[in-house]
Amino acid sequence: KMRGALTKTRQALGTDIRDLFKADGRLVDDEFLKDLFERLIKTDMGVSPAEEIRDQIAKKHRARVVQLEEVLESITEQITEMLAQDSTDLAVAGEGPTVILVVGVNGSGKTTSIGKLASYLHRSGKKVVLGAGDTFRAAAVEQLTVWAGRIGCDIVTGQHEADPASVAFQTVDKAIEIGADIAIIDTAGRLQTQSNLMQQLDKIRRVIGKKIEDAPHEVLLVLDATAGQNAISQASGFSDVAQCSGIVLAKLDGSAKGGVILPIQKQFGLPVKFVGLGEGIEDLAKFDPEPFAKALFQ
């Protein structure tokens, strides 16, 4: 699935390293290293990772004829290492339901990612409750309600323009009442100012914390992979105020620049926990660096 999702990155940009090789291999000289660097950079991974990979290949293989497999293996290894993160597991509450807040700019894929995450957890045997905290967007509430119906899980919705914190409070209440394992709470995707956003998130934290002391246990930031490098600046406002604990990189399948995950991880200093690989209910995967690194170039 990961390979399929990164087809665009490989095709649109010709990052397939295979093209650089003849059947009997290729001499590692300046020209090859330049070609390789170009393909690396096209994925949007950023200049310094691409330089690092190129230099490593040069160090290992310069003036030798190498086979495609050796080079791919080396690249995969390096990218896997660059993307290595402590853990992509979701935090789990010591006691009572685990509370996950989801933040992100409108259009990033937030609602869809919540639906897919809920389905993923539901399929792994967890009892999930959704909270439609983006109360200013009727479409988001409707969309989330449809997801809840498809999954067969509970959802808490408020009145239009109700205080998102009250929806969050009720969601946690519901989760405790029915003995749910996990509450996933949507938040507003558009607020006029950062201080506005901060106030809202602070309030949500406060009211949830009254119910469960160490909640929220996760604050996931949804980023749109198709926005390329723009995703970084677009979302930095959210991560500044939201005290995020992890990233969901949505629409990786729609992106021609899948390598953007490297600069994203670096800039935010947060683990990428999940990636969106399509619009379907099962199109969310726990992020795993190795298959990702492989799929980027072959």
| CA torsion, ordered 57, 61, 64, 70, to nearest 10 deg | -70
Among 15, 43, 76, 112, binds ligand GDP (CB under 6 A): 112
Residue 111 known to bind ligand = yes
Residue closer to ligand GDP by CB (options 218, 253) is 253
Q: Does 251 bind ligand GDP (CB under 6 A)?
A: yes
Structure tokens at 296: 């980027």
Q: Does 273 bind ligand GDP (CB under 6 A)?
A: no
Least distance from ligand GDP to the Cβ atom of residue 224, Å: 8
Q: Does 189 bind ligand GDP (CB under 6 A)?
A: yes
Q: Does 111 bind ligand GDP (CB under 6 A)?
A: yes
Residue 186 known to bind ligand = yes
Residue closer to ligand GDP by CB (options 116, 205) is 116
Q: Does 107 bind ligand GDP (CB under 6 A)?
A: yes
Least distance from ligand GDP to the Cβ atom of residue 133, Å: 12
Residue 154 known to bind ligand = no
- Residue position matching structure tokens 């956003």: 197
Residue closer to ligand GDP by CB (options 27, 139) is 139
Q: Does 254 bind ligand GDP (CB under 6 A)?
A: yes
Show contacts with ligand GDP in window 19-58 (CB under 6 A): none
Residue closer to ligand GDP by CB (options 117, 293) is 117
Binding residues are: 104-111, 186-190
Residues that bind ligand GDP (CB under 6 A): 104, 106-113, 140, 189, 250-251, 253-254, 276-279, 283
